[in-house]
Structure 1
Amino acid sequence: MLKNILLWVVIGIALMSVFNGFAPKDKNDSTLSYSRFIEAVAYGQVETVTIDDNKIKGKMRSGEKFRTFSPNDAHLIDDLLEHGVE
């Protein structure tokens, strides 16, 4: 009986580990529209960004994390540098 309980506990822990691996990452990121993102950059509210193709992830100076999608904006990098975004 004890072996059966132990077996089910081990199976349960293994299943929880597997399903936890499939959980979406960055749950705490809020999604911004691109226009709101550009506005935040202009007002100096954006601290850091990471750009991967058309995906932008970043952190506001308030500590809030965000993500947005970029159209092919030729002036984006210049705007980020001009407003001190890392």
Structure 2
Amino acid sequence: MISKIAVWVLIAFVLFTVFRQFDTTATETLPADQISYTQFMQDAKAGKISRVDVQGRQLTVTPKSGSKYSITSPGDLWMVDDLRKNDVQVFGKP
């Protein structure tokens, strides 16, 4: 009985690993440590950002050129206002 459970756990782990390998969202975003929140806001003020999707504290940033990336917001109360002042489209997600 235990060996059957172990086999199914192993199969599930292998399937998870294979599907994770082909996950396109993981390849579309850069690691969060490659761009700081400060750099993101400087880019927004310089007109380099076209869109930001906000989901909780997670921000998915679409620059005018280059690839999307994700960062975590530090809880900046004025972020949305600053982004709107710089013509960045801001979208909220539940």
**CA distance in structure 1 between the partners assigned to 2:65 and 2:18 by the alignment:** 29
Report what 1:29 is aligned to: 29
Report what 1:61 is aligned to: 64
Report what 1:12 is aligned to: none
Match of 2:46 among 26, 43, 64: 43
Higher alpha-carbon Rg: 1
**CA distance in structure 1 between the partners assigned to 2:73 and 2:84 by the alignment:** 16
- AA of the residue aligned to 1:22: R
Structure 2 unaligned blocks of 5 or more: 1-14, 90-94
Equivalent positions of 1:63-82 (< 5 A) are: 63-82=66-85
**CA distance in structure 1 between the partners assigned to 2:54 and 2:26 by the alignment:** 15
- AA of the residue aligned to 1:41: A
**CA distance in structure 2 between the partners assigned to 1:37 and 1:67 by the alignment:** 10
Structure 1 unaligned blocks of 5 or more: 1-17
If each structure's helix is expressed as a fraction of its own residues, which one has the higher value? 2
Report the TM-score when normalising by structure 1.
0.70
Identity value in percent: 22
**CA distance in structure 1 between the partners assigned to 2:87 and 2:47 by the alignment:** 8
**CA distance in structure 2 between the partners assigned to 1:77 and 1:70 by the alignment:** 11
Aligned positions, number: 71
For the aligned residue pairs, the C-alpha RMSD in angstroms reads 2.1
